[in-house]
Structure 1
C-alpha cells in the first residue's frame, strides 16, 4: 500500500540529518514570511477576517505536509477559494462555511481512498485556465473599495452590480488610502524585479504600517475594520448541523473539494518537476481532506496546496515535508507572540498583495496563447472564464468540462473511419468472392460514431451471403458500439446474411462477451476470415 504512505515516512526512512533539518528550517522560515501577509489578505478577501486565514495556514499547512503524498507541498488558504468562500458566507453564514469545509474534507478522503487522484489529468487545460483567470478578475474586483478607500457600506457580491456600486461611490476616493496602496504595490513589484529573494509582501506590509502609524493618517487598518478580532487559536469545536443545512451546503462542499483536489495535485506536479520527485496523488487527496476537516474544526478556511508557496519553499532549499510543518510552526509563533501587531496593518497594503496574487493567477500569457488555438478550445476557455466572472464558479466548471468533453468526442468521431462497399480505396476488395462484402472500422468504436455502422449497412446495394466486419484497428468498444454490432447481427440474420468478426483485440472481445450476444463467428486475421467466408459462400 505504498500509495497511501505519507512522504514524511519515506523521507525519514531514507535518513534525516542535521544538515537536512537546517535546510528545511531555513525554507520553512522563508515561506512563513511569504505566507503571513498572504494568509491575512486571503482571509479578508474571502469575507472572513485575517485571523481565519492565519489559522488555516497553521492547522492545514501543518497537516498537508505531515500527511501529504508530496515531498515539499506547502498548504494553506489560496486565491482559488476566495470566490467560493465569499459566496458561502454570504448565503449560509460562517457556520455554513465551516460545515461545507468539513464535508469537503470528507469528500476528499473518500476520493483519495477511491483512487481518484489520477483523474486530475482528465480536467481540460482550457477549463483550468478559464476558471483560474476568472477567479483572478473577481479577486482584483473585490479589492477596489479598500484600495481606493471608497465610502461604501457594503459591496455587492455579483460582478456587474459590484462595479455599478463602485461607479456610484467613485467621488469618495480617499487620497491617503490610495497613496498607501500604490506605495505598497510599487514596493512589491520593485522588489520582485530587483531583489526577488526578499519577502516583498512582508516588506510592503511592514513599511506601510510604519508610515500609517508614524503619520497618524486616517487610513483603514485591520484594527479599525475588525476591532473584535480574537488573538491566538481557539480550541476545536464541532459545527452545529442539521440535515437541511447539510443539503444546503453540500453543492458548495463539492466545489471546495474539487478546487482543493485540483490545485493540490497541480501544485504537486509542479513540485515534482522542480525537484525530480514523484508525488502520491491519492495520499495527497487524503491529506487535503484531513487538513480541511481540521481547519474547519479550528474555525479556519478551506485549504489546499499552494503553488507559489510550494515553489518558494523549493527555491529556499526545502528537502522534506518538515519544511512545510516548520512553516506552520513559524506562523503560529507570530500569532502567539505578535498577533496584536496585525491591528496596525493598512487594508490598502493587503489589497496591493491581492492585486499581485490576482495578476499571477490570471496567467495572462497562457490565456492569450490559448486564444490562438482552434475555435473549440477558444470557446471552452472564454465560456468558462465568462461564467466564472458573471454567473458562478460551479456552473462554469460544470459547463466547461461538459462542453470540452462533447467537443473532444466530436473531434474523436472525425478520426474514426467506417469503410463500406462504396469505398474504392480498399485494395482487398478485389479479392472478395462473389456474395461476400466487407466493412472495416478504424478507430475507437464509441457512441459518437456507432450509428455510422448501420448507415453503411443500409447503403449495401444487394444482400450479401457473408459480411466480414474487420475490427483490427478498433482499440476500444463502448456500450453503444456493442449495441450497433448487435443491431447489425440482427439485421443480417433477418436476411440470412452470415457475419464474421475478425481482428478483435482484448477490450472489444471482453465487451462483446459481457453483452452475451449469442454465438459469434470470429477469426483472428483477415486472411482467416476471407477463407471462412469463401467456404460459407460456396456452401450456400
Structure 2
C-alpha cells in the first residue's frame, strides 16, 4: 500500500524506469486482451489503467503491476457471449456489473483474511487449469488469424497465403525467435506490433484493424441487476474474483521469491478488489496481478507501489494523446501475440514429465485441463480442488491413524516403566486407546472401527496425553464409543484431557456421559485407579 515513505530519491528513479518499461510491455497485451474479449481495445487499455492504479494504491505487494490477463479474458469472453445471448438489451451492462461484483467479493476475501487459503490449491490442478486456459486462448485466435472459426476452418493454400494470415504467422515467428537478451531492451511484442503497423500503412493491404481508441476518459456506467441472470451473475462474479485472486497472489509469491520480501495477501486482495469495482463501473475488463509485467518492472528498477501508479498514468497519457493511432494496428498481430501467450502458458514442463509423475497427479492435471476446455473454468477448478482435497484428506487420515494405538500391556511400549507394570499387573483386562497428535474428521471412521474389532469385554482407557486437537467429528466418534461401552455396562475411562480438547468435548457435553470419577488428570492416575479396583 502506498505511503509517503515511498516518495524518496533513492527509489523514484528506479520506479520511473520500471513503470516505463512495464508500460511498453503492457500496451500490446492490453490491446490484445481487449479486442479478444469482444468489449473492444479500450476495455483492455482502461483495465490496465484502473486496476493498475488502484491495486498499487491499496494493494499489499509493492512491485505488483496489475491489468488484464489470459484467464480473466477467457472468462469474460464466455460471460459477455452468454449474457448478451440471454439479454440483448442489458447483457453487456450486466457483464460489467459482474466485474464490480467480483471486486466486492475480492475485498471480502481480504477482509475475512482468506488470502492464505487461495495459494493452497494443488499444483496439478493449477497446471491443468492454466494449460486449459492456454488451449482456449489458442482456439479463440484461430478466426482472427486465419479468417475462419474452427468448425469452418480448412487449411487450404488460399487460407495460408492470405495477407492477414501471412502477417499473423510472421509476427508469431518474431515472437518466438526474438532473442531473450534483446527483449529486456525492446520486447518482441513491440517489434511485432510496430512491424505489422508499418506493413499495413505502407502496403495498402486490406485487413481487419483494431480501430482508434477515443482520446477521452471512459463514461461511468451504473450497475445493472438483471433478475433473469441473477444466479449466473453471482456465479460469474465468484469465478472472476477467484481467477483474479489466484493470478494476483501467485504473482505476489513470485515477487517475494525475487525480492526476499513478504507481501500482505489480504491487503493485496483489498487493492485488487477496489480496482475491479472501479473497472466494472467504467466498462473495463477485470484485472489481476500480471507476472510478466511485474517481473519486468522489478528488473527495470521498480521497488515501490509508485512504479505501478506511474505505469497506469503512462498508459493513460499514451491513450489520451495517441489513441487514434491504434486504428493502424492489424488485428492479426494481436492474434499472434495472444497465440504466443496461449502456447507459453501451457505447462509443457509438467507435460514432458508425465511419465515420471504419480498416476493420480497425471489424471488430475489432464482432467482439469480437459474440463477447462470442454465445460467451463468454474467446473474445472471446483472439481479439481474437490478431488485433490478428498485424496489429501484420505492420505492425512492414514497418517493420523498411525497416531492411534489400541494396545494391551504387551504392546504398550510407549508407556513409562511404572505405567507398564500397572497395566501388566491387571492381566490384560484393560485395553488402552492412546491418541497422539491432532486427529481430524477423516480419522473418525477408523477410530470407531479399530475399537469395535477388539475384545469389548475389557475395560477401555482412552488416553489423550499427546492429543492437542480433536475435531467435532472425532469427538462424536469418541462419544459413540463411550455410549456403546456404557450401554453394555462396561467401564470406560478418560485421561489427560488438555484444555483445548476439553473445549471440543464440552461443546457436545461428552464429559457428562462419563462419571466424574472416571476422568483423570494423568494416565498414571487412571492406571493406579484401575489397579486398585482389580
Cα–Cα, structure 1 residues 474 and 125, in superposed 2: closer, same or farther, change >3 Å? farther
1:96-175 superposed matches below 5 A = 96-148=94-146, 150=147, 152=148, 155=149, 163-167=150-154, 172-175=159-162
The equivalent position to 1:455 in structure 2, one of 435, 441, 449, is: 449
Shift of 1:246: 3.5
Contact 1:134–1:386 under 8 Å retained in 2: yes
Is 331-340 or 473-482 further displaced after alignment?
473-482
Contact 1:138–1:389 under 8 Å retained in 2: yes
Give me the TM-score of the superposition, normalised by structure 1: 0.89
1:287-330 deviation per Cα after TM superposition (whole angstroms, max 9, x unaligned): 11110011111110011111111111001100111101111111
Distance 1:528 1:127 in 2: 50
> Could you say what secondary structure the match of 2:432 adopts?
strand
Give me the TM-score of the superposition, normalised by structure 2: 0.90
Shift of 1:53: 0.3
The equivalent position to 1:419 in structure 2, one of 405, 411, 421, is: 405
The equivalent position to 2:165 in structure 1, one of 152, 167, 178, is: 178
Distance 1:354 1:87 in 2: 17
1:528 aligns with 2:525: yes
Distance 2:160 2:471 in 1: 62
Q: Give the gaps of 5 or more residues in structure 1.
A: 1-5, 156-162
1:484-505 deviation per Cα after TM superposition (whole angstroms, max 9, x unaligned): 1111111111233222223444
The equivalent position to 2:202 in structure 1, one of 208, 211, 214, is: 214
1:436-476 deviation per Cα after TM superposition (whole angstroms, max 9, x unaligned): 11123355433322122332232233512x31123344443
Counterpart position of 1:284? 268
The equivalent position to 1:41 in structure 2, one of 29, 32, 42, is: 32
1:402-454 deviation per Cα after TM superposition (whole angstroms, max 9, x unaligned): 10111111111221234335896543678341321112335543332212233
Contact 1:232–1:339 under 8 Å retained in 2: no
Distance 1:120 1:315 in 2: 27
> Could you say what secondary structure the match of 2:511 adopts?
coil
1:371-450 superposed matches below 5 A = 372-415=356-399, 416-417=401-402, 418-421=404-407, 425-427=411-413, 431-432=423-424, 433-434=426-427, 435-442=429-436, 444-450=438-444
Contact 1:376–1:407 under 8 Å retained in 2: no
Contact 2:215–2:322 under 8 Å retained in 1: no
1:350-389 superposed matches below 5 A = 350-369=334-353, 372-389=356-373
Contact 1:36–1:331 under 8 Å retained in 2: yes
Cα–Cα, structure 1 residues 410 and 82, in superposed 2: closer, same or farther, change >3 Å? same
Distance 1:66 1:279 in 2: 14
> Could you say what secondary structure the match of 2:461 adopts?
strand
The equivalent position to 2:50 in structure 1, one of 34, 54, 59, is: 59
Distance 1:506 1:357 in 2: 55
Counterpart position of 1:296? 280
Q: Give the gaps of 5 or more residues in structure 2.
A: 85-91
Distance 1:188 1:91 in 2: 33
Distance 1:168 1:188 in 2: 22
Contact 1:102–1:293 under 8 Å retained in 2: yes
1:512 aligns with 2:505: yes
1:340-392 deviation per Cα after TM superposition (whole angstroms, max 9, x unaligned): 11111111111121122123322321454466332222222122111001111
> Could you say what secondary structure the match of 2:222 adopts?
coil
Distance 2:106 2:364 in 1: 26
Shift of 1:532: 2.7
Counterpart position of 2:244? 260
Cα–Cα, structure 1 residues 370 and 322, in superposed 2: closer, same or farther, change >3 Å? farther
Is 521-530 or 262-271 further displaced after alignment?
521-530
Distance 1:91 1:216 in 2: 37
Cα–Cα, structure 1 residues 116 and 208, in superposed 2: closer, same or farther, change >3 Å? same
